[in-house]
Amino acid sequence: MFPSHRPRRLRTTPAMRRLVSETTVRPRQLVLPMFVKEGATEPLAVASMPGVVQHTRESLLKAATEAVSAGIGGIMLFGVPARRDATGSAGTDPDGILNAALRDVRAEVGDAVVLMSDCCLDEFTDHGHCGVLADDGTVDNDATLAHYARLAVAQADAGAHLIGPSGMMDGQVAAIREALDAAGHLDTGILAYTAKYASAFYGPFRDAVESQLSGDRKTYQQDPANIREALREASLDLAEGADILMVKPAMSYLDVLRAVAEMSDVPVAAYQVSGEYAMIEAAAANGWIDRGRAILETLTGIRRAGADIVLTYWAVEAAGWLDRD
Ligand code: PBG
């Protein structure tokens, strides 16, 4: 008798397939990244990210309320300032766009959703790097840590529940933890960008934040060829007190995500970045793929690889397609 094993039996009916399905995606596991632009009087479309906007402070509040109604787990805010300088001082200004927006959103939605903030200098610097520069033009790791510490405290003061250091400086988690504790923010957590690769898939994001960067971030973000250093970064972030680890981008790094998920004793997030979003939107707009199915397939794949939490620009829309529990 051949074949003697018939795996197709478990695929015969929708009920059978539902019974044996291993991976779920739930709204509570999704986090929406959002942009807020200083001085904007109406939401501005981001050309390379169809459906994503730079919010005004008012439209951000409406969108945050919608995110709560959709039942998603969190929102991650990025600020687009009107003025930039060498040290990114608008990031620490309590009235700077990101801190002002955090305060607004926290006042509007309270603890109904987890409020996260990008703790990095690149949106605020006139050179576009994630840290301050030394005289020779290189990114000065240790001088940058002092800036991250101040940014983190300003963001926690403004109401962020989780601080998201995304600059890949050595020691950033420890520096931020120490500063938060010293300021009395014992319950403010750190969502650490642990394994963040120097990726071409951040291109559309740099439009969204009007990045001033020329050159690249290869001296601080990781080489796409490497997984070992991702595990080293993960061990360091855990030792420094990270509350959640993150791998970024998601789809080209599912093996890294799996490896980090297997060694981590804290929850693990993955960031489905702007270029991953743009690719699917562009293909779908051309009629080349089924948009909704493709989106759900990517979210399922990222969850299957080991992500407890997925940052995705489709968070609210996808939540509308998913079971709540
Ligand atoms: C840096 C930051 C970046 C992204 C999130 N945080 C850009 C970069 O490292 O160049 C990219 C997110 C995306 O592409 O969706 N603050």
Note the pLDDT tens digit of each residue in 247-303. Answer: 999 999 999 999 999 999 999 999 999 999 999 999 999 999 999 999 999 999 999
Note the pLDDT tens digit of each residue in 179-219. Answer: 999 999 999 999 999 999 999 999 999 999 999 998 999 99
Sequence-distant (≥ 6) Cβ neighbours of residue 262 within 8 angstroms: 306
What percent of the chain is predicted at pLDDT more than 90?
98
Sequence-distant (≥ 6) Cβ neighbours of residue 279 within 8 angstroms: none
Longest CA–CA span in the chain (Å) reads 76
Per-residue model confidence (pLDDT) at position 167 = 98
Tell how far the Cα of 201 is from the centroid of ligand 1, in angstroms.
Answer: 9
Q: Whose CA is nearest to atom 12 of ligand 1?
A: 273
159: left (phi over 0), alpha (psi -120 to 50) or beta: left
The preferred substitution site among 54, 205, 207, 277 for testing ligand 1, maximizing ligand atoms within 8 Å of CB, is: 205
Active site residue 218: no
Note the pLDDT tens digit of each residue in 92-140. Answer: 999 999 999 999 999 999 999 999 999 999 999 999 999 999 999 999 9
Tell how far the Cα of 13 is from the centroid of ligand 1, in angstroms.
Answer: 42
Q: Whose CA is nearest to atom 7 of ligand 1?
A: 202
Q: pLDDT-derived band of residue 1, with 50, 70 and 90 as boundaries?
A: confident
C-alpha to C-alpha distances, 179 to 148, 182, 217, 225, nearest whole angstrom: 9, 5, 26, 34
Task: Quote the pTM value.
Answer: 0.97
The runs of H, that is alpha helices, within the chain are 14-20, 57-70, 97-109, 141-157, 172-182, 203-208, 228-240, 254-263, 274-285, 291-304, 315-319
What percent of the chain is predicted at pLDDT more than 70?
100
Which of the following is catalytic: 37, 62, 196, 218? 196
Q: Which residue has the tokens 């039996």?
A: 9
290: left (phi over 0), alpha (psi -120 to 50) or beta: beta
Whether residue 204 is preceded by a cis peptide bond, meaning omega within 30 degrees of 0, is no
Q: pLDDT-derived band of residue 172, with 50, 70 and 90 as boundaries?
A: very high
For range 1-11, the mean pLDDT: 95
Which of the following is catalytic: 37, 62, 218, 248? 248
Active site residue 196: yes
Which two tokens mark 158?
């403004």
Q: Whose CA is nearest to atom 6 of ligand 1?
A: 166
Count of all residues that appear for the chain in the document: 325
β-pair type (44-45, 53-55): antiparallel
C-alpha span between 312 and 273 (Å, rounded)? 7
C-alpha span between 212 and 235 (Å, rounded)? 32
C-alpha span between 146 and 182 (Å, rounded)? 13
- CA atoms within a 13 Å half-sphere pointing along the CA-CB vector of 102: 32
C-alpha span between 226 and 244 (Å, rounded)? 21
Mean pLDDT of the chain: 97
* Ligand 1 neighbours by CB, cut-off 6 Å: 118, 120, 122, 130, 166, 202, 205-206, 217, 273-274
3-state secondary structure of 81: coil
Per-residue model confidence (pLDDT) at position 214 = 87
C-alpha span between 161 and 293 (Å, rounded)? 32
Q: Is the Cα dihedral 90, 218, 32, 238 positive or negative?
A: negative
Per-residue model confidence (pLDDT) at position 114 = 98
Q: pLDDT-derived band of residue 325, with 50, 70 and 90 as boundaries?
A: confident
Tell how far the Cα of 205 is from the centroid of ligand 1, in angstroms.
Answer: 6
